[in-house]
Amino acid sequence: MKELTKAEEEIMHWLWKLEEATVATIIAQMPEPKPAYNTVSTIIRILENKGVVGYRKQGRGHIYFPMVRKEAYSKFSLRKLVDNYFDGSAKSLLSFFVQKNDMSVTELEEILNEINKEKD
């Protein structure tokens, strides 16, 4: 999977939310100040080239849709974050959040419970 820029990720988040959309529909959902149509259209074409967005023709336009699930990209991004900033250690990542975000023991226990539920 290829890494996305911040602008590409923003468009992907809208496509994941909308499931499929035209460029105009994506722009309509975005907060002010809205980007130019050509800017969003260019980003969509880049996402197509990266293989994360597909399209189908509708009349003279295109309906775009994600080809990568949000969960798959989230997992990819998190792995990259852990590898680049925490030497590949999820333990170091969690330790960082505990130390820097004043995470309580209760919150840690809740996370552990969630992890154990998913393993069962």
pLDDT at position 25, please? Answer: 97
Contact predicate 27/68, CB 8 Å: no
**Distance, CA of 113 to chain centre:** 25
Name, in order, each residue with C-beta under 8 angstroms of 51's C-beta and a sequence gap of 6 or more. Answer: 2, 67, 68
Q: Which of 22, 38, 66 is the last residue of a domain?
A: 66
C-alpha 38/C-alpha 62 separation (Å) is 14
Task: Specify whether 75 is located in the same domain as 40.
Answer: no
pLDDT at position 109, please? Answer: 86
Task: Specify whether 11 is located in the same domain as 59.
Answer: yes
pLDDT per residue of the chain (120 residues) written in tens, 0 to 9: 889 999 999 999 999 999 999 999 999 999 999 999 999 999 999 999 999 999 999 999 999 999 999 999 999 999 999 999 999 998 888 888 778 777 787 888 888 888 888 776
pTM of the model: 0.78
pLDDT at position 98, please? Answer: 79
Residue 111 covered by a domain? yes
pLDDT at position 120, please? Answer: 66
pLDDT at position 13, please? Answer: 97
Structural domain tally of the chain? 2
Residue 78 covered by a domain? yes
Task: Specify whether 59 is located in the same domain as 85.
Answer: no
pLDDT at position 27, please? Answer: 97
Task: Specify whether 56 is located in the same domain as 74.
Answer: no
pLDDT at position 21, please? Answer: 98
In terms of residues, how long is the chain? 120
Indicate the residue type of 70.
K
